[in-house]
Structure 1
């Protein structure tokens, strides 16, 4: 694989595309790759192409860059497919916040569980089915590297609806959690040893050591001496569950029933309800700044992101062994979680591909939370696969934060309103209302 073809689906997510390209071109062996960019938005696609050519020049890469409005054209002969699509873009994300807020449901991010996660998945599934069918036909040996959230739901749907087996979901939460923890306890990241496992955005640091010594006691001392540290959801969860969660407090608060329903907890733990919409707006503004800079011939500041996809591609192309964290079907990787669920575990990567590492059994209190998460995921996937709109409501009833806030009847009415708001993006069988 001397000139790998790497396809970006949803390349109009220009800022993220830029970071991935900077990472790819940091490897000399990947500087002659064929970068194929696809997006349905012509302006964003043109911006992504200009950015890719700029980064290639800046990094001294002899890459071939092509832009494609037609997805199938971009996929033909691909070795790797990176999916970063957001169906509905910022407008749908705003709907995911505004409609539940009118029903009294609080969200902080809304892209993994909760009402936001449910409908983000349901409007993404039809696209994933088409993408999977195209890959099976046009590049059946390609690896699909998925970044699109809700990660676990999307990977489960992809594997069950399309039959693809070379699929892995990628997220940076484990890596950056460990960078932050290393800094917090004052140990260089390169010197720590760690192991994590669980589900995406709710995995757990099972091992955290420096030269064979457990670092958790040092973390405990810091937390005990720092009131501000104790005002974080993930620290609160760690103190009570015994293992540090691998996602931010904003994310973590949405996957349990204990925090967002209570005004006092929102204040104590400084939870930014609805603030994610400001991040959405900033992402749009950053895109406009990039577009305008490229048009004016101004320099771009592009930093590497240490994302897993470029590392995986480099390992497969060169045979360099690495361990990354990936989201894959469980199938016995974590003993006390459902076999059909998608779990986040360490994975070995080299020229032979991606091989997940068995994690064994999680501590029971952690598995209990993960099972609820995976039960909700399964109901959303079943709604789409079985054309069963009631399962949308069952998923919302199972969701911890939603169930802590609303009665059953209120949950069904909320789901009806969300179906109406997103109807054009849902598969036809799910566009029905049931509460009335």
Structure 2
């Protein structure tokens, strides 16, 4: 049987690539896989290749590892494509924070919604389109497993702008939320049963049980007795909405108008404004350490990450059934969210592929927040599909946190500045500045 071929697009995101490879090589059936690495940065590509070979050796795997400066060569005949690109890298991310900050907009992570999420999406879409065209030509049956943020916008764009249907967006937030809740309650993770659904970075824990017993009352008692727990955004949201959100407090604060715009809330909830810039710098340092360790022949300690992509690849190739959480188009999955928007739901995975689970209707208060999120997403995707620069501004106007911080003229001025700053990475029709 021909070994499974897995193409990594953006493999120079070495930290993430290493974790995924450690997970892949943990499965005996994938130890001989063909790992095809692609990155546009030659040094990062060489580092990724060296790391892949070292991890394989340490894990007792014997894969074929190939590195490709040319993307189509990496994709040719691939069974799975893992997308982990970051268009514009550190420089563009810094712009996403610095320009809005001059207008008084606070962001913590800036990669999903808000001004940062809008422009990260718009500079990613052209690369996604060309990637999809290549997949359609050289590996049309491959599953595209997307990790690149903004997840929901990218998946919606891929499914609406291209002919690809085997697309699923993957994020670890549901898994780690439940892992951390189990730890908080001192319940073994393996003993909990849970269901979550919503949109990426704003899903909701709909069921949280152990042996058929609801664990929410235990969580309520813990929160009531711990003032420090009540100083977390996600706990504050849970207390007011009744369902625990599946993303960190730093992320969650950006998607609603209630927190970052108010100094008192930033202090009460200990919100780290601009935190992602430190994470980006740390990732660069880790990359450089990995590069230097490889060059020196030193050890390369890598932990498994329990990510969903390796689990999906294993399930599809072996027929082993398992459940993961995936981001997919809302075709009858969540009744009270817009059709076609990207939703996050449980998915059965086996030899037939990724099969989303119908959830039904979300609690009304949760759906209300998710609809605001998806409405903004839709306007960003519409801007790209219709080459309509006004839709960029309208998306920013519809974003709850941006609208709470700026008057409408300020939103349009900021969008003009962002367009000018990112112009070289935007599709030509979106490079216009519009004024008021």
Question: Over aligned residues, Cα RMSD in angstroms?
Answer: 0.6
2: CA distance between counterparts of 1:146 and 1:363?
28
Q: Secondary structure at the match of 2:236?
A: helix
1:178 maps to 178
Describe the superposition over 1:252-293 as per-residue Cα deviations: whole angstroms up to 9, x where unpaired.
000000000000000000000012101100000000000000
CA-to-aligned-CA distance 1:361-411 (integer Å, 9 cap, x gap): 000000000000000000000000000000000000000000000000000
Give per-residue Cα distances to partners, 1:1-35, cap 9 Å, x unaligned.
64100000000000100000000000000000000
Mapping of residues 211-360 of structure 1, within 5 Å: 211-360=211-360
Alignment partner, residue 406 of structure 1: 406
* Counterpart position of 2:432: 432
Q: When the two structures are superposed, what TM-score results if normalisation uses the length of structure 1?
A: 1.00
2 CA distance for matches of 1:117 and 1:257?
Answer: 16
Distance 2:11 2:190 in 1: 32
Q: Which whole-Å CA distance do the structure 2 matches of 1:103 and 1:360 have between them?
A: 40
In the other structure, the counterpart of 1:148 is 148
Residue number in structure 2 paired with 1:6: 6
* Map of 2:96 onto structure 1: 96
Distance in 1, Cα, partners of 2:15 & 2:337? 36
Instruction: Map 1:344-423 to 2 at 5 A.
Output: 344-423=344-423
Could you tell me how far apart the structure 2 residues matched to 1:72 and 1:26 are? 28
Correspondence list, 1:23-172, <5 A: 23-172=23-172
Q: 1:153-176 CA distances to partner (integer Å, 9 max, x unpaired)?
A: 000000111110000000000000
SS at match of 2:8: strand
Q: Which segments of 5 or more consecutive residues in structure 1 lack a partner in the other structure?
A: none
- State the SS of the aligned residue for 1:195: strand
TM normalised by structure 2 equals 1.00
- How far apart are the structure 2 equivalents of 1:162 and 1:388? 18
CA distance in 1, matches of 2:406, 2:35: 47
Superimposed CA distance per residue, residues 33-75 of structure 1 (whole angstroms, 9 cap, x where no aligned partner): 0000000000000000000000011111110000000001111
Q: In structure 2, what is the Cα distance between the partners aligned to 1:270 and 1:387? A: 40
Give 3-state SS (helix, strand or coil) of 1:100's partner: helix
How far apart are 1:435 and its partner, in Å? Answer: 1.2
Q: How many residues align?
A: 436
**In structure 2, how many angstroms separate the alpha carbons of the residues matched to 1:98 and 1:408?**
19
CA distance in 2 between partners of 1:357 and 1:279 (Å):
34
Give the deviation of 1:186 after TM superposition.
Answer: 1.2
Instruction: Report the equivalent of 1:210.
Output: 210
Provide the rounded CA distance (Å) in 2 between the counterparts of 1:405 and 1:81: 39
Structure 2 unaligned regions, length at least 5: none
Secondary structure, in 3 states, of the residue corresponding to 2:397? helix
Instruction: Report the CA distance between 1:103 and its aligned residue.
Output: 0.6
Alpha-carbon distance between aligned partners in 1 of 2:435 and 2:226, rounded to the nearest angstrom: 48
Query: Following the alignment from structure 1 to structure 2, what is the Cα–Cα distance between the partners of residues 91 and 61?
Result: 37
Rounded to whole Å, the distance in 1 between the matches of 2:75 and 2:150 is 23
In 1, Cα distance between the equivalents of 2:434 and 2:231? Answer: 41
Secondary structure of the residue that 1:404 maps to in structure 2? helix
* Distance in 1 (alpha carbons) for counterparts of 2:29 and 2:217: 42
Q: Partners of 1:105 and 1:422 in 2: how far apart?
A: 18
1:19 matched residue in structure 2: 19
| 1:141-199: CA deviation from partner (whole Å, max 9, x where unpaired) | 00000000000000000011111000000000000000000011111000000000000
**Helix, strand or coil for the counterpart of 2:405?**
coil
Q: Distance in 2 between matches of 1:276 and 1:64?
A: 35
Q: Structure 2: how far apart are the matches of 1:194 and 1:52?
A: 34
Secondary structure of 2:324's aligned partner:
strand
